[in-house]
């Protein structure tokens, strides 16, 4: 009987699977809480989260861990996410310190975290227990890394695949089958309708775990090649979760055809009955293409069964010729018709079916061999799955041991300074300040120019130190003339704030005075570099020279994109062997203006180019691109920002439907300007990153950007952004594609959560460098 899906579910499933899954993983990981501060003290136990009541591999793994922990005297609470969560769930941990171990794979983990009450997510260690069945992971698995402190996995095979997604190799914690209560129902073959005098070969799997990966057709072919229609040789296909996979089930029935010695059992047995069926079999056959662990193989070994399995992936770590019959394989490109088990460059196994048939005949004809291999398999399983991995891993997550040194007993006071009057620098500083406010164990302090536009938009008392800056060359020279007295004044004021470190949010012309004051009172300096090279026509004379002097005095250097980090790394005399940390510019809104969705106005589509109107911003590319676009689409375009007069701006102003507004846009008008647009176009020839693009993402605008510099990493994971080559024809095509078929917009961005995520991650890495 087919499962009835709701209308929204049916519509969702009609979308292309790859982009659908990627967009969902990206959006939920952005919205989900991130791994942050860990409370002081040792935890007496743990909380295991998983599908505790569901018949699935992940659910069984969670049940095994929970049972093994309790049997070893370690307090363990379980949270069953397969059922509605109870309203008093937060009371499951009275200490507030027990680590969360989530048996939930990476793409789904952010959604599960969002379901849990805040008291169970914050101030505690979060561990993702992940299992993956290919040697490489898809992009959708990368986003959740920021949500967990540590990653555990059940095999070395999975650890190798996940290493690329983690900043360190995951911890291998095998399922503790021998340390748990592996209950087996006390029934014999007759309970399953199986004859007592036949050799029973069992193939057990779930269709929800991928028909192609489990390779049941290979098992059927090998059995038929081995035994034909012999009635003293019975193949039992125990297939779970068939309701939603009618086509797969039909393929199995077709392969069985009229074979009288192949039985199909689609009963969903509880664990004890399922293990009783394994125990009632003579041979367990698993010609899988890949396994992240292989629970059926492991349980069969625990029950002393003779196992024939593909000699590849995780099962090859514990099944060999001393305790089973491994089937040789060749590796082929992984192709999953459902699109679940696919990743760039991934391969999996194609088992040798002729050899599998030969091994089946040998095992079926030799009961002594089956007993000998079964006994060896049981001994191997009891040794490998005794729970030693789990016991060894617990101190590393603070269970029964002191927490890592990075946990502080008092908040770290962090001073963020940026002394620009207007533009992206002060806004970045304020958003970083707000992000750090949400990080447990951090007390941020803010210092801005007394002339900063953003002062009117922050709360009273938020700015701990306003600094008189300058307005024009004359005041700048005056500040330099009085530099010694200003350094002394800054040192006194900063000392009163007692910061542990100071972060320059964006370098400016007089930041060397701040660096001198901080050095005088012994405060560590962190400099966030937005641009490592001067863009043509951008910045003031000597600005890059002064920035390099500031960077040379910094204790920690942070690059606001990997592109900027590479540029810094090439400046070897400046960096002196230091490796810059890399941060990503989150989306941010310049005000609280609520923007209607793109194209909701019902008029001609609106295209906006906004920001500094300089040659490197590609204003000379935009004119020809709009001319090409006009031949196929009607639209209105605004080019808004400040810049010197130029031929490119004159060309744009002369185009029909294009309005050039060469003026400075104040802070409180930026959001309204961006909200006007349906598409924000960034036709840059070079870029380190884009603050305008960050505002556009936060406002839910479509973005067309050239694939140059740091724009690639800023926009490549945003489903509503389109990257193109930096030439007029490519920009026109990209704009036309968005106008013809606008990409689906992701859910509204929780920019506060994204800034909190960035601030949390950045602080952890800065502290790691400073604590060396």
How open is the CA angle 504-509-514, to the nearest 5 degrees?
50
End-to-end distance of the chain based on CA atoms, in angstroms? Answer: 61
User: Has domain 189-381 been given CATH number 3.40.50.2000?
Assistant: yes
Indicate the SS3 state at residue 213.
Answer: helix
Report the C-alpha gap between 716 and 648 in whole angstroms.
28
Report the C-alpha gap between 244 and 228 in whole angstroms.
31
Query: Helices (DSSP H) in 100-155: which residue ranges?
Result: 109-115
Q: Tell me where in the chain the CATH 3.40.50.2000 domain(s) lie.
A: 189-381, 412-587, 606-748
Query: What does 47-89 look like in DSSP terms, one character per residue?
Result: EEEE-TTS-SHHHHHHHHHHHHHHHTT--EEEEETTSPPPTTG
Across the chain, which has 772 residues, the per-10-residue mean pLDDT values are 56 62 73 72 83 87 92 88 77 72 91 86 86 86 84 90 72 92 89 94 92 96 96 96 91 95 93 93 97 95 97 93 94 85 84 97 96 94 90 83 43 89 85 88 89 79 81 60 75 86 89 88 90 74 80 89 85 74 74 73 94 91 94 93 92 94 85 92 92 88 93 85 94 94 80 82 85 66
Q: At what angle do helices 367-384 and 353-365 cross, to 10 degrees?
A: 110
State the pLDDT at residue 404.
40
Report the C-alpha gap between 102 and 100 in whole angstroms.
6
State the pLDDT at residue 571.
81
CATH number at 606-748: 3.40.50.2000
Question: Taking a C-beta distance cutoff of 8 angstroms, is the pair 166, 151 a contact?
Answer: yes
Indicate the SS3 state at residue 658.
Answer: strand
* β-strand partners of 306: 283
Which homologous superfamily is 412-587 in? Answer: Glycogen Phosphorylase B; (3.40.50.2000)
Q: What fold characterizes domain 7-176? A: Rossmann fold (3.40.50)
Query: Dihedral, CA atoms, 487, 490, 494, 500, nearest 10 degrees?
Result: -40
State the pLDDT at residue 631.
85
71 to 43, 97, 364: CA distances (angstroms): 18, 21, 38
pTM: 0.54
Q: At what angle do helices 353-365 and 216-227 cross, to 10 degrees?
A: 50
Report the C-alpha gap between 194 and 462 in whole angstroms.
75
Query: Helices (DSSP H) in 166-232: which residue ranges?
Result: 211-214, 216-227
State the pLDDT at residue 403.
39
Q: Where are the beta strands (DSSP E) in 453-560?
A: 463-467, 501-504, 524-529, 556-559
Question: Taking a C-beta distance cutoff of 8 angstroms, is the pair 280, 253 a contact?
Answer: no
- Region for 354 from its dihedrals, namely left if φ exceeds 0, alpha if ψ lies in -120 to 50, beta otherwise: alpha
């Amino acid at each position: 009987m087919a499962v009835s899906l709701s209308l929204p579910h049916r519509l969702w499933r009609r979308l292309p699977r790859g982009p659908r899954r990627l967009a969902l993983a990206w959006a939920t990981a952005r919205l989900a809480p991130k791994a942050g501060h860990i409370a002081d003290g040792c935890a007496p136990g743990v909380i295991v989260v998983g599908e505790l009541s569901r018949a699935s591999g992940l659910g069984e793994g969670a049940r095994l861990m929970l049972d093994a922990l309790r049997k070893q005297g370690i307090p363990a609470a379980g949270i069953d996410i397969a059922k509605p969560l109870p309203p008093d769930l937060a009371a499951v941990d009275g200490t507030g310190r027990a680590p969360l171990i989530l048996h939930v794979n990476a793409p789904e983990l952010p959604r599960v975290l969002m379901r849990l009450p805040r008291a169970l997510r914050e101030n505690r260690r979060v561990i993702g227990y992940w299992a993956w069945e290919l040697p490489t992971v898809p992009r959708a698995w990368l986003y959740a890394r920021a949500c967990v402190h540590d990653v555990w996995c059940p095999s070395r095979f999975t650890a190798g695949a996940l290493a690329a997604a983690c900043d360190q190799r995951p911890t291998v914690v095998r399922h503790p089958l021998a340390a748990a209560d592996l209950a087996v129902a006390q029934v014999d073959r007759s309970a399953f309708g199986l004859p007592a005098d036949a050799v029973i070969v069992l193939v057990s799997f779930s269709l929800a775990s991928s028909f192609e990966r489990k390779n049941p057709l290979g098992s059927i072919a090998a059995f038929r090649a081995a035994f034909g229609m012999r009635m003293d040789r019975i193949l039992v296909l125990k297939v779970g979760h068939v309701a939603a996979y009618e086509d797969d089930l039909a393929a199995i029935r077709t392969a069985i055809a009229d074979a009288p010695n192949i039985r199909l059992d689609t009963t969903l047995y509880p664990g004890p009955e399922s293990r009783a069926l394994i125990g009632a079999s003579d041979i367990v056959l698993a010609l899988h293409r890949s396994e992240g662990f292989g629970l059926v193989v492991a349980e069969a070994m625990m029950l002393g069964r003779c196992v024939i399995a593909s000699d590849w992936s995780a099962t090859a770590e514990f099944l060999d010729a001393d305790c089973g019959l491994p089937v040789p394989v060749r590796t082929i490109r992984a192709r999953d018709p459902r699109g679940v088990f696919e990743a760039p460059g991934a391969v999996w196994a194609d088992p040798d079916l002729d050899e599998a048939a030969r091994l089946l005949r040998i095992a079926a004809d030799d009961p002594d061999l089956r007993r000998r291999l079964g006994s060896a398999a049981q001994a191997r399983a009891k040794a490998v799955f005794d729970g030693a991995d789990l016991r060894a891993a617990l101190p590393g997550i603070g269970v029964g041991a002191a927490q890592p040194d990075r946990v502080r007993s008092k908040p770290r006071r962090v001073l963020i300074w940026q002394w620009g009057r207007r533009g992206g620098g002060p806004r970045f500083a304020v958003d970083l300040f707000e992000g750090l406010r949400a990080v447990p164990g951090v007390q941020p302090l803010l210092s801005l120019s007394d002339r900063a536009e953003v002062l009117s938009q922050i709360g009273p008392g938020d700015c701990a130190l306003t600094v008189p800056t300058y307005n024009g060359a004359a005041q700048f020279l005056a500040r330099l003339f009085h530099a010694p007295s200003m350094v002394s004044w800054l040192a006194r004021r900063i000392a009163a704030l007692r910061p542990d470190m100071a972060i320059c949010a964006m370098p400016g012309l007089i930041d060397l005075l701040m660096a001198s004051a901080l050095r005088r009172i012994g405060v560590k300096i962190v400099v966030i570099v937005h641009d490592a090279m001067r863009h043509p026509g951008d910045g003031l004379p000597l600005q890059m020279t002064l920035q390099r002097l500031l960077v040379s005095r910094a204790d920690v250097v942070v690059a606001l994109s990997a592109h900027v980090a590479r540029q810094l790394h090439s400046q070897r005399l400046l960096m002196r062997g230091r490796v810059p940390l890399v941060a990503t510019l989150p989306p941010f809104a310049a005000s609280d203006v609520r923007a209607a969705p793109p194209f909701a106005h019902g008029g001609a589509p609106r295209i906006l180019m906004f920001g500094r109107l300089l040659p490197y911003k590609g204003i000379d590319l935009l004119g020809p691109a709009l001319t090409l676009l006009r031949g196929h689409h009607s639209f209105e375009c605004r080019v808004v920002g400040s810049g010197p007069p130029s031929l490119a701006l004159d060309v744009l102003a002369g185009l029909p439907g294009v309005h050039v507004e060469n003026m400075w846009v104040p802070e409180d008008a930026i959001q309204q300007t961006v909200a006007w647009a349906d598409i924000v176009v960034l036709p840059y020839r070079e870029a380190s990153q884009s603050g305008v693009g960050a505002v556009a993402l936060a406002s839910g605008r479509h973005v067309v950007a050239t694939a140059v510099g740091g724009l690639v990493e800023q926009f490549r994971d945003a489903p509503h952004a389109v990257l193109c080559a930096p030439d007029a024809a490519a920009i026109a095509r990209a704009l036309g594609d968005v106008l013809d078929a606008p990409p689906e917009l992701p859910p509204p961005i929780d920019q506060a959560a994204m800034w909190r995520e960035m601030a949390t991650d950045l602080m952890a890495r800065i502290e790691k460098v400073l604590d060396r």
